[in-house]
Structure 1
C-alpha cells in the first residue's frame, strides 16, 4: 500500500490540538490550517479517535481534543492509526519460479523491506507531538525576528 498523505494530515491535526490544548478545535478549524476539506479531516480524526489518541464532544462548543498528553503521542502512533498495510509495496503477484532472480527476489526484498520499515517505525517512535509543537513555536519565533 505505501504511506499516503493520511499520516501527514493526522500529525498536523494532533499538533494543532496540542498547540491549542486549552480548547477544543473543530474539524473546520483544522481543515483551514491544512487548506483541506473538513470531511477528510473528520475521517482522519475518526481513525485517531478509534486509536485512543483524540476524543470529540458534540454540540455547541464541541470539537476535538487530545485524549493523551502530547508527550505521550508519537509520530508512529499517528502513522499506525491511519495507515494500513506495509509501508513498502511488495510484488503484486509472484515472480517467475523459472528465473533464478524471480525465485528468490520476494524473500530477499521481504527481509530488506522489513528492516527498512522497522527503522522508520523506530524513528517515528522517537518523536512526540509535544516535540513538534516546540519545533513549530521555535520556527514561529524565528520568523518574528
Structure 2
C-alpha cells in the first residue's frame, strides 16, 4: 500500500516558507519539493481556505504564511489536509461471518483506535514553531547557510 506523504510534504513547504522574507512562488516551492507547481498550488489552496497561507498575484507575488507558527500544530495541518488515514493496516474484512475473525477484528480495531488517538495527541503537542526551532538548531550545526533555491540541489538529506 502506498504511503500518504502529504503531511510531511506540507510541513516541509511551510517551514521553507517561514524562512523566506517574502512571497514564494509555486514554481520555487515545487523545485524544492521535486514536484509539479500544480501540486503545490492545489495543496496551498486548501491551506489558504483554512487561513494558514495567503497568495499574492502578479510580479513579486507568491505564497506567504498567514499564521503564527507557535499557534499551529501538526494536528491542525493534518486536519486541514482532510484527515488522511494514519495507518496503512486494516482488517481482512470489515463484517466477517467467522467468530474467530470477529474476535481478531475487535482486538485490532481497539489497537488501531488507541494508536491513532496517541498519534493525534502527539500531533497536537508539536507546533510549527517547534519544527522551525529544530531546523534552526540543525542549520547552526551545519554552518548556518540556507538558500531555498539550492538547498535541495546537491543532497536529499536534511
Say whether the fold is shared (TM-score over 0.5): yes
CA 1:2 to 1:46, structure 2 compared with 1: closer, same or farther past 3 Å?
farther
Runs ≥4 residues deviating over 6 A: none
Normalised TM-score (structure 2): 0.78
Shifted more, 45-54 versus 116-125: the winner is: 45-54
Aligned-pair CA distance for 1:14: 1.1
Distance 1:86 1:144 in 2: 38
1:59-97 per-position Cα deviation (integer Å, ceiling 9, x unaligned):
122111112111111111122222444322433643532
Comparing both structures, which one devotes a greater share of its residues to helix?
A: 1
Any conservation in 1 of the 2:69–2:128 contact (CA below 8 Å)?
yes
The answer to whether the aligner puts 1:102 opposite 2:131 as a matched pair is no
Q: Which runs of 5+ in 1 are unaligned?
A: none
Residue correspondence of structure 1 range 104-123 to structure 2 within 5 A: 104-123=103-122
Q: Which residue of 1 aligns with 2:16?
A: 16
Q: Which runs of 5+ in 2 are unaligned?
A: 145-158
Number of positions where the alignment pairs a residue of Structure 1 with one of Structure 2: 143
Normalised TM-score (structure 1): 0.85
Distance 1:141 1:75 in 2: 24
- SS of the residue corresponding to residue 86 of structure 2 reads coil
CA 1:2 to 1:128, structure 2 compared with 1: closer, same or farther past 3 Å?
farther
CA 1:54 to 1:11, structure 2 compared with 1: closer, same or farther past 3 Å?
same
Aligned-pair CA distance for 1:36: 2.1
Any conservation in 1 of the 2:78–2:84 contact (CA below 8 Å)?
no
1:77-127 per-position Cα deviation (integer Å, ceiling 9, x unaligned):
122222444322433643532x22212333322221111111111111111
Residue correspondence of structure 1 range 73-112 to structure 2 within 5 A: 73-88=72-87, 89-91=89-91, 93-97=93-97, 99-112=98-111
